[in-house]
């Protein structure tokens, strides 16, 4: 009977050893998959961030160009208005004399 018991124990130890090996292999595979998923997620986040920054910079550049165009148009309009304004020296002289006379 002792040999049977020894054979049974040997088989149980062999099964336990195989189970331990399978668990270690599964743990290693899970760690590898987790690391790969983490790396992919980080790459996806970085790509999304880069895309968002690029879009924001493009919008900023477009807004700056539109603002500059609006400013230049306003300055042209103001200069045109000044250029088309007639200087009435007689009226200016009269206004100055009236202002000085009040003092």
What the block records as the tokens of 96 is 């100055």
Helical residues (DSSP H) of the chain, grouped into ranges: 2-84, 89-102
For the entire predicted model, the pTM comes to 0.55
What the block records as the tokens of 12 is 């149980």
Please tell me the predicted confidence (pLDDT) of residue 1. 64
* Sign of the dihedral through C-alpha 23, 25, 26, 32: positive
Q: Which residues of 55-75 are buried (b: 16+ CB within 10 A; e: fewer)?
A: eeeeeeeeeeeeeeeeeeeee
Ranges of the chain with pLDDT below 70: 1, 103
Please tell me the predicted confidence (pLDDT) of residue 94. 93
Delimit the domains of the chain by residue range: 2-81
Please tell me the predicted confidence (pLDDT) of residue 103. 65
């Amino acid at each position: 009977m002792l040999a049977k018991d020894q054979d049974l124990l040997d088989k149980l130890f062999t099964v336990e050893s195989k189970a331990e090996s399978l668990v270690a292999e599964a743990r290693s595979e899970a760690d590898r998959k987790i690391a790969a998923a983490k790396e992919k997620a980080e790459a996806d986040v970085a790509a999304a961030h880069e895309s968002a920054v690029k879009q924001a910079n493009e919008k900023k550049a477009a807004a700056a160009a539109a603002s500059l165009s609006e400013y230049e148009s306003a300055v042209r309009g103001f200069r045109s208005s000044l250029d088309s304004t007639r200087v009435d020296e007689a009226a200016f002289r009269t206004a100055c004399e009236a202002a000085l006379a009040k003092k």
